[in-house]
A and B are shown apart, each in its own frame.
Chain A
């Protein structure tokens, strides 16, 4: 048994290194600048997906408002870049259109990298921790929690749009050309941005993996499958859930921050209800409660979205809707579950309890 475990572990490490090599060396060499930029964007979403997987797949907290945290991180980074560009006395372009004469006080700290960069993680995590403490302490869960997070994302978007002078409204923060003095339009720098995203994803993956394989991870899964039982055993499920939710918010914030130099825009359009839901689809397709599945599923779904919308400009919504229905209804374990079905194996023990093998079989048969 121990020998088997060890061989699996070395096997796993080899695969991880292989993926790392392909992702960091081969892809940047063979892909065009445009496609690499797209891949960088998908990887940003994959970072969010790892966080969602942690909260939803492992913790059972379906968060429909991940766009909120994505946006908090993204705007923190966007404000930093905008102020860098404007210079010490300058005003970001949209503020002068909106009649502001000086940079508002809450923007000021974002002038400094030492504030803005940690803020990318800390602001979303702080908000999530506060929110989580309030909500989970009251044992608000399941559908209630899902709808609350969705409402929060919606409220955040309305607030952002309403405060046009401070946030650039619907347009969002656009036209960010430099970062730390480097020209973001330069192909070499774009490649470096991609590498930064890929490395961040690897780190996020390792952190998440460490978490779910630790004692804490077992507790998290236990809370998902029977919160009251965990409470009777003397644990405090609130703390367990708040921690997972906070980490997942931090990941979304990080992804939002990386999204800004990759795409060059941070706008409310990327944060609302629909984008928040779209982030879930990758996790569902790849297979929830499998971190690799979440990453692979997200990359694949976004790749399909780009490809399909390029080839069937108006019809891809059908595909997206159908994919959602088919995967969630008939293959709830996602791609990670399909091989089990092919091999006619029993589901692995670390899968969520809610899956009914009968449904999975129907989907294939």
Chain B
């Protein structure tokens, strides 16, 4: 008995000691102004919050790298407002409550001026209340399902009308009238497919099948059989992560080819094609806003800098580029506002433009999304993606699809 009490007391003391130690650094008022507090120091702290462990590390580690690269470049040019940017990196561990916890930590303990982070919709949904509660800023770099405009989030990835709809437009222009939907069982694929079905109904396209598999699923022979049975003209693929590898390998070994049944993917970028194996996915289509091969002067510099810093065998892709760009956009907004104070930065952000690797991007202040050019690409035998079609100008973000009559009943 005595032993247990002894242990309990020691642990309690440890916790108390730890708590007191932390209090020295923490502010006791969590709802206090963030951002402004850093103006007094010699550096500006920013948070970087991605999954560095767990299943999502596959994708998110590279985005963190790109964000760190952008910070390093800005610092080399003298920083922002005459101060260097200091990155505080935290691990979201592929676990949504952890994202919320670490976001709160960055805001109330590290007092960061802004945070760059997240990948999955679930992680963003988990962080959203934290940023709204603390009136702090989050920059989210990944294409997502739309239907959201939080006043404290800047969305630097594509919303659906900059990726999904151009993807469908392309298939329609190619004369594809029978489409099969394959997706992972979570919010992005389900919402995207809802929009695709509404689009199809208005554009004379038939949806001949719709399949969802659990996240991380690796057994696609049944789906392949269903594809063979339904004989669609094209497949619209919203699978996530590892499942893509299994899907494309089994698609190919099941005897299906890109020539007869092209797959349009919206979550497969250059980083993923390497894991899938270029030989398994070559010839299939993707819809993004940026490819490593995108031909702009800014991209040549970006790709060279990224490879020089992280290794020649690394590739860049859309979310990586969005992560890189959003740091520059934030820095530009801060420079224009003359402060890191959140409301001022938000106000200053409207209309800011930047010559990004993907071409010119502009912040739309009303939705806090970015004007982006939609680009349809074909995967090449070397795993890189070649652009075959692009929107003539950057597309205005429309997260609620208000400008599309067929989408009236969706949100």
Contacts and interface: CB of A to CB of B under 8 A. Distances in A.
Given A15-B5, A27-B16, A264 B129 contact: yes
Interface in B1-30: 1-12, 14-16, 18-20, 22-23, 26-30
Nearest to A333: B3
B187 A170 contact: yes
A97 B191 contact: yes
Contact of A174 (B22, B23, B101, B125): B125
B122 A172 contact: yes
A300 B16 CA distance: 12
Interface in A298-357: 299-300, 303, 306-307, 309-310, 313-314, 316-317, 335-336, 339-340, 348
A258 to B, nearest CB: 13
Contacts of B3: 290, 336, 339-340, 348
- Interface centre among A158, A170, A267, by most B CB within 10 Å? A170
Contacts of B147: 97
Contacts of A37: 104
B126 interface: yes
Interface stretch (B92-100, B264-272, B381-389): B92-100
Given A32-B30, A270-B97, A39 B53 contact: no
A300 B1 contact: no
Contacts of B101: 38, 41, 263, 306
B28 A267 contact: no
A108 interface: no
Given A170-B186, A187-B30, A35 B129 contact: no
B90 A164 contact: no
Contact of A339 (B6, B104, B120): B6
Interface in B157-204: 185-187, 190-191, 194
A177 interface: yes
Contacts of A300: 11, 14-15
Query: For the complex, would chain A's binding face be called helix, strand, loop or mixed by DSSP majority?
Result: helix
A365 interface: no
B72 interface: no
Contacts of B253: none
Nearest to B24: A32
Query: For the complex, would chain B's binding face be called helix, strand, loop or mixed by DSSP majority?
Result: helix
Interface of B: 1-12, 14-16, 18-20, 22-23, 26-31, 52-53, 89-91, 93-97, 100-102, 104-105, 108-109, 120-122, 125-126, 128-130, 133, 147, 185-187, 190-191, 194, 212, 214-215, 411
B7 A174 contact: no
Given A292-B8, A339-B6, A170 B23 contact: no
- Interface centre among A172, A270, A296, by most B CB within 10 Å? A296
Interface of A: 8, 11-12, 15, 18-19, 22-23, 26-27, 30-35, 37-39, 41, 97-99, 158, 161-162, 164, 169-172, 174-177, 185, 187, 263-265, 267, 269-270, 275, 286-287, 290-293, 295-297, 299-300, 303, 306-307, 309-310, 313-314, 316-317, 335-336, 339-340, 348
A336 B27 contact: no
Given A31-B22, A174-B126, A265-B126, A22 B7 contact: no
B19 A187 contact: no
B90 A309 contact: yes
Contacts of B90: 309-310, 313
B100 A32 contact: no
A50 to B, nearest CB: 13
Contacts of A287: 4, 7
B91 A309 contact: yes
A267 B12 contact: no
A336 to B, nearest CB: 5
Given A19-B12, A98-B190, A296-B11, A310 B22 contact: no
Given A34-B26, A162-B185, A339-B3, A269 B129 contact: no
Contacts of B411: 97
Contacts of B52: 313-314
B97 A8 contact: no
9 residue pairs, one from A and one from B, having the closest CB atoms = A32-B26, A296-B11, A170-B186, A33-B30, A292-B8, A314-B52, A292-B4, A313-B91, A31-B19
Nearest to B23: A32
B190 A310 contact: no
Contacts of A265: 96-97, 100, 126
Nearest to A338: B7
B16 A22 contact: yes
A30 B214 contact: no
B93 A309 contact: yes
- Interface centre among B1, B102, B130, by most A CB within 10 Å? B1
A335 B7 contact: yes
Contact of A171 (B16, B187, B215): B187
Contact of B125 (A33, A175, A290, A316): A175
Contacts of B215: 161, 170
Contacts of B7: 286-287, 290, 292-293, 296, 335-336, 339
A269 to B, nearest CB: 5
Contacts of A31: 19, 22-23
Contacts of A161: 185-186, 214-215
B122 to A, nearest CB: 5
Nearest to A9: B1
Contact of B4 (A34, A290, A314): A290
Contact of A177 (B9, B11, B122, B129): B129
Contacts of A162: 185, 212, 214
A11 B22 contact: no
Contacts of B95: 269-270, 275
Contacts of A38: 101
B38 to A, nearest CB: 17
